[in-house]
Every structure is written in C-alpha cells, then in structure tokens.
Structure 1
Amino acid sequence: MGETPKTALHRFLTEATWGADKINERRLEVMSKSNQTRISRGFSLIVDDSGHRKSGNFTAGVGRQYIGEIGKTDNGNVVVTTHLYDGKKSLPLDIELYQHGNSLPKGKKDPEFKKKPELAITLIDKSLNRGYKPGIVLIDSGYGNNTSFLNELEKRKLSYLGGLAKNRKVKVVNSTTFTEEIRLDKLAESLPKEAFTESKINLEKPRTVWVAVILVEISRLEGQRKIAIVMNNSTFQDAEDIDYFITNVDPSIVTPQWIVNTYSQRNWVEIFYREVKGWLGLKEYQVRSKRSLKRHFILVFCAYTFILWHKLTGGLRRRWANKPLNTFPEALEAFRTAMSFRFVSWLNQNQHVFAAYKASCGFIWA
C-alpha cells in the first residue's frame, strides 16, 4: 500500500532533502517582487518570543520554562522570532527554536545552547544582511533589560524602543532632586502628577494612559537615553498597570505620544501569534528534531504569507468577496470559499474519480 497523506507529510518534514532557510529566503523574495507587498525602508522590526505547551521530553527544546500564552512556567517549547510591521502589513521574517538548557545533553554548557538575546541578534543580522533597513527595533523587557543586547543593537546603528524592569536603576540627568541612582518604580512614585501627559493608545480596545518622559543615564550604556513611564492612571498610587521603556532615538523626537504610538505596534506580533496558532497550526506538530520543527514553522510562515500576499494584491477581494478583507481571518475565509467552490466544481465533473478514490479507502460514494 502507498503512503497515507499523514505519513507522507511526516516524511516530508523529517527526511526529505530541502532546506527551511532557503524556502524562507524564497518566501521573502516573492514578497519583494510586488509593489503592494514589497518590504520598504523604515519599518518596525519587532523581536519577540512565544511559547506553547508540549508534553514529554523527547522533542527538541522542550523544558520547563515560561510560556507566554498561559502566563506561567510549564513544560513546553519557545521560539524567538523577528517580525515586520510597516503600517500596511504585518509579516513574519525569521524564526529560531530556543533550546532550553535542560533539553541539551550538557545543559547551558552545551555548544548548541544560546540565550534568547543571542538568537535575536542572529535573526536581526539576517534581516540586515538582506539589505532591510528597519526604522526602529521594538522589544519587550526580556530584551530591553539586557544591556549587552542593547549595545549590540547600537553597534549595528539601530534605533530601538524597549521595555525595562521596574527595578532597573537610572540616574536622572540635570536633576537636583534625584542626584543618585534610583529604581524606576521609585522614580515613578516620586514624580508629581504634572510630570505625566495624558495620551491615547489606539489598539483593538483604545485606552488612555499617562506618560512621563525623562532623560537619564544607565550603567554600561554610554551617553544618555530617554526613558518613559507609562501608567493606566494619572497617579502612581492609583495605577494598576505601570510599564517602563527605554529608547536611543533622538530625544527631540521622543514625546509621550510617540512612545505609545510606536510601542503599540508590537501588538501586531501578538495578533500574528494568535492567528498562526489558532488558524494555521503553528504549535500542532508530530515531529521531534530541531530541523523538523524549523521546517514546520517555516511552512506555517509560507501559508500565512500566501494568504497575506493574495489579500494585499487584491485577488481574493476581487473574485471571492463582496466586502473589504481587513483581517487575516477574513482573507483566509475568502480563500477557503475559493477552494470550496473549485472543489465542488471539479467534483461535479469527476464524480467517478472521487468515487474510485473513496473505494480505494474502503468507502462507498454513491
């Protein structure tokens, strides 16, 4: 008997001779050939990692680690990704499996072990080597709190806006009140209400925040940086959600509204994860090796990009929808509509072929 589709796909992921990196490069080359999909200068390059639960310990990278989608530590896999957002499109660029120390024979001393910031720099370099020119790199506090990572970005002359931990110490520039290093949360608590500016964040659910922008010095970073304190209330005592940010962008550009407008673009990578996990099966795989996992991830990237390309170039909208396709799920549903129509059309003309196929599987189509 021949292979079933399931076993054929498994062999394609585990044994077939093809390279995930080459396929990914080709995917991005195709995107660059159309005016509607071309990757232009000045986009936001989003660095993030995402995890999902995975039982057992035979799959590469699996270990007890923080899993963002459930908000706690559990057994699972984590990937580091770079992502593009340019105001018109949200596009995944590169992905790498984070191999937890416990998943490697020699733990953190294993040659294969790399910290997430190291993986992120490798992925960023891939984008730069393609000639991409990001306007800013957006990172969460897992990367923004890593001074070595920030220095690596600055060596590459990249602008960034990233999160900071509340216990990070800074020295306020030109201040007679704060003459020593102070923790960010203590600084936020000490600032008067007048130091904060009300700003609007336009996300899926718009909200109001209060932002203070301050010029500081931070140990192991040369020169001065702007930091921002963003609260969901006008006073520290009443705020339930407080975030801290750092940027090396020209201080004259860094306003409270710029902070919230720019950093809110990171939300697009969260939407992407939700879509590829929910609709395209990013975390649904039956393979174990690092190579096979990478292949699976890149094929999911290809599927996402295929739908995105048709959405941006207008083909799905012109032929298969009578409404704007503003979201990925809407574009995916238009594609499914197209496939359903073509299958039914084919079936009407080839019922004998389909009946023979069903018979070969032990079923009757009549």
Structure 2
Amino acid sequence: ALELIDRSLKRGYRPGIVLMDAGYGNNTNFLKGLESRRLKYLGAVAKNRKIWLNQSGENWQKIRLDEYAKSLPEEDFTSVSLNSNKPKTLWVATGTAELSRLQGERTFAIVMNASSYADATEIDYFITNEDSEKVTAEWVVNTYSGRNWVEVFYREAKGWLGWRECQARGLKSLQRHLILVFCAYTFILWHKLTGGLRRKWANQPLETFVDALEAFRTAMSFRFVAWLNENRDLFAAHKARFGLVWA
C-alpha cells in the first residue's frame, strides 16, 4: 500500500485524505508510514483496539474501543443524516486518546445505526490524524462515505466486466486482463458521463453503469449483425478453419 502511495506522490497526486478499512487502520506501521509522508487519514479500526484515555491530569486509563463506546451516554452521540443511495441516520461520538507506538493523541469516532449502544446492530470505529477541531460527526460520516465508491467499482468490474472470470495463471496474462477491464470500465463510464451512448443508442436516460453497458452492448450487437450481413462468406470461411459449419 505504501509503495502505491509513493508512486502516486511521485506522479504529483497528493490525496487530501487517505481512506482505509480496518485491515489498514489496525496496522500501526502503516499509519506511521502515512504520517511520515505528512498525509492525513481516516481509517476503520477493530473494536478490540486498545486506547489510552486521559481521565484527569496524569490519570491514564487503558480501555478497548467497544468498552469505551459502552460507557458513553446517549447525549454524547450526534445524529447525522447520510444522503446515499439508501439515505439513513447514524449516531456519532468523537473523542481523543493515545495509541501505542504513536506519539501524541489521535481522534477516534464511534459510528452506530442507533442512538444507544444497546440498540445498535452496526457499530464502526475510526481513527484519524486530522486536526481535532475539524473532526465533527458530519465530517466523519461524509468523509468516510467516499470510500464506498471503490466498492461500487469492484461490484461493476467483477459483476459486469468479467474481472474475476479470467482463467489465466501467468502474471503478464493476469495484468493484461486487468488492464483490459480497467480500459473497458473507463470507456463505459466516460460515455455515461458525457452522454455519448445516450445520443445514438438510447431514448431514455442512462443513469447507471449497467444502463450504459447495455446501450454499449446494443451498439456492438447492431454493428456485428450489420457486418455479418455483408461478410457471410468471410465469416463462414473463418468458422470452417476450425472444422465448423456456419448454417
């Protein structure tokens, strides 16, 4: 992950903030690597992650994040409306604490789908090195929601463009397959955003990636049928090379 980030930095792409799941948020070495590159981050962490709370003066308490969340009263949580494909309300509490092997305090956030810990069925925990004054409940929810777009890409690339269907085993073959999928994804998305497919191949809005893909498939089918009608003998000869008959 740090190698990919370094490549981006060398190309002049410096992210405003790095978003990550708990697989990276729990990795202290990774967090230190981001901070050494002067990058801000917001990442999920495991519920059993232990933090140090400064109760009063020099009285520090070591506690798990989920235990800390249980101890918070309902009035410490702020409701936030998330406007996504399925709008929902979340409750967020933030606080500062120290983490082993990291110097100074970091801001933590608990995000739940209910106003109380006992009633919540989904609870997420986050850590960030952003300035604590900036880390509000709204900031946490709206900022981390940006990470969902990579999941949208995975769903569309795997489900509609055959990213996971490759049967090759060689590294170069796998890389070629991935590059072709990325190119196809970019091509479809570009036409969806610019209206290219809509202008010629649809009489309705192409609101989703799947809609745009279906319009593209229609265009390819039309062009293939048109070519086939003019090149029947050529196509039959091509099939004959494999011992097949084009009926």
Normalization by structure 1: what TM-score? Answer: 0.63
1:161 to 35, 42, 49: 42
- Taking only the aligned residue pairs, the percentage that are identical comes to 65
Partner of 1:171: 52
Distance 1:283 1:180, change over 3 A: same
The amino acid across from 1:179 in the alignment is W
The amino acid across from 1:206 in the alignment is P
Partner of 1:328: 209
1:343 to 224, 232, 236: 224
1:153 is displaced (CA, Å) by: 0.7
Give me the whole-angstrom Cα distance separating, in 2, the residues matched to 1:311 and 1:242.
Answer: 35
**Alignment check: 8 A CA contact 1:172 1:214 kept:** no
1:174 is displaced (CA, Å) by: 6.2
The amino acid across from 2:233 in the alignment is H
**Alignment check: 8 A CA contact 1:311 1:331 kept:** yes
**Alignment check: 8 A CA contact 1:211 1:229 kept:** yes
Give me the whole-angstrom Cα distance separating, in 1, the residues matched to 2:3 and 2:154.
Answer: 21
The amino acid across from 1:303 in the alignment is A
Partner of 1:294: 175
1:98-177, aligned counterparts within 5 Å? 120-173=1-54, 175=56
2:71 to 190, 195, 213: 190
Distance 1:186 1:122, change over 3 A: same
The amino acid across from 2:48 in the alignment is N
Give yes or no for the alignment of 1:248 onto 2:129: yes
Give me the whole-angstrom Cα distance separating, in 1, the residues matched to 2:145 and 2:223.
Answer: 40
Distance 1:310 1:175, change over 3 A: farther
Local SS of the residue matching 1:335: helix
Give me the whole-angstrom Cα distance separating, in 1, the residues matched to 2:108 and 2:27.
Answer: 15
Unaligned runs of 5+ in 2: none
Local SS of the residue matching 1:181: strand
1:254 is displaced (CA, Å) by: 1.1
Give me the whole-angstrom Cα distance separating, in 1, the residues matched to 2:88 and 2:143.
Answer: 15
The amino acid across from 1:209 in the alignment is L
1:291 is displaced (CA, Å) by: 3.5
Normalization by structure 2: what TM-score? Answer: 0.91
Partner of 2:156: 275
1:157-236, aligned counterparts within 5 Å? 157-173=38-54, 175=56, 179-236=60-117
Partner of 1:75: none
Please provide the CA RMSD for this pair: 1.9
1:314 to 171, 178, 195: 195
1:150 is displaced (CA, Å) by: 0.6
The amino acid across from 2:100 in the alignment is S
Of the two, which has the highest radius of gyration? 2
**Alignment check: 8 A CA contact 1:197 1:211 kept:** yes
Partner of 1:20: none
1:175 is displaced (CA, Å) by: 4.9
Bigger RCO (CA 8 Å, 6+ sep): 1
Give me the whole-angstrom Cα distance separating, in 2, the residues matched to 1:175 and 1:317.
Answer: 63
**Alignment check: 8 A CA contact 1:141 1:162 kept:** yes
Partner of 1:58: none
**Alignment check: 8 A CA contact 2:106 2:127 kept:** yes
Distance 1:229 1:175, change over 3 A: farther
Unaligned runs of 5+ in 1: 1-119
